[in-house]
Amino acid sequence: MRIGILALQGAFAEHGAMLDRLQVPHFEIRQVNDFLQAPPDGLILPGGESTTMGKLLRELSLLEPIRQAILAGMPVFGTCAGLLLLAKKLENDDRRHLATMDLCAQRNAYGRQLGSYETEGAFADCGTVPMVFIRAPHIVGALSEEVETLAQVNGRIVAARQKNQLAVCFHPELTRDPSIHRYFLQMVQSR
Ligand code: GLN
């Protein structure tokens, strides 16, 4: 198994460090050839700034190959801005990026000051996990019945899955808890 990590901007190195701890081979995707030469078994889209990442994905001609691979079933894991890249609809932004996941999300959903905090919450069948939110989006709702809710905090959906796509509003790569990365690796393995 080899995991690709989109490394255009944002917290990509931290995902790499988590995969190192789990002893899972991974590589960084910076150019379209990094992706096309040896397509990964699973792809991580890190947190950062979704607008910048979306712009770079287009400029580097990475948007369409990644989009097609996701639609063909490649497992993908988007954290925070990564979730915004996946969402089909952004409530407070006209831009769309990969737009492969039946989610409506809201950017900077907690306001600028309240946007960063840490809590704990139940995630799928993984028990309680730490959740670090940084100018985080939240999931306003699912756009189809294929989307399952995996976690909620204060009545808001903060993690969801649609078949091969996993998206979380928080940053599991900034904690010591590997549960959510393990959950994603299971998705990759069982493909
Ligand atoms: N606020 C950022 C955006 O809109 C996401 C923040 C993050 O990834 N931590 O893209």
Write out pLDDT tens, residues 68-114.
Answer: 999 999 999 999 999 999 999 999 899 999 999 999 999 987 766 56
Which residue has tokens 């940053």? 171
Q: What is the pLDDT of residues 143-158, one digit of tens each?
A: 999 999 999 999 999 9
End-to-end CA distance of the chain, in Å?
11
Question: In which band, very low, low, confident or very high, does the pLDDT at 129 lie, cut at 50, 70 and 90?
Answer: very high
Do the beta carbons of residue 136 and residue 122 sit within 8 Å? no
CA–CA distances in Å: residue 59 to residues 62, 63, 167: 8, 9, 24
Question: Would the annotation count 49 as a binding residue?
Answer: yes
Q: Once rounded to an integer, what is the mean pLDDT over residues 121-145? A: 95
181 flagged as catalytic: no
Q: Three-state SS for 181?
A: helix
Show the beta-strand stretches assigned E in 11-153.
Answer: 26-29, 42-45, 76-79, 87-90, 101-106, 117-122, 128-133, 138-142, 147-153
What is the 115 CA–ligand 1 centroid distance (Å)?
Answer: 10
Q: Using the predicted structure, report yes or no on whether residue 43 has a pLDDT greater than 90.
A: yes
Work out which ligand 1 atom sits closest to the CA atom of 80. 8
**Helix, strand, coil proportions of the chain in percent (round to 5)?**
30, 30, 35
What's the average model confidence in pLDDT over 187-191? 95
| Ligand 1 centroid – CA 153 distance (Å) | 18
pLDDT of residue 112: 62
User: What pLDDT score was predicted for residue 88?
Assistant: 98
Q: Is 49 in the pocket of ligand 1 (CB under 6 A)?
A: yes
7-39: pLDDT as tens digits: 999 999 999 999 999 999 999 999 999 999 999
Active site includes 173?
yes
> What's the mean per-residue pLDDT of the chain?
95
Instruction: Output the CA 31–ligand 1 centroid distance in Å.
Output: 22
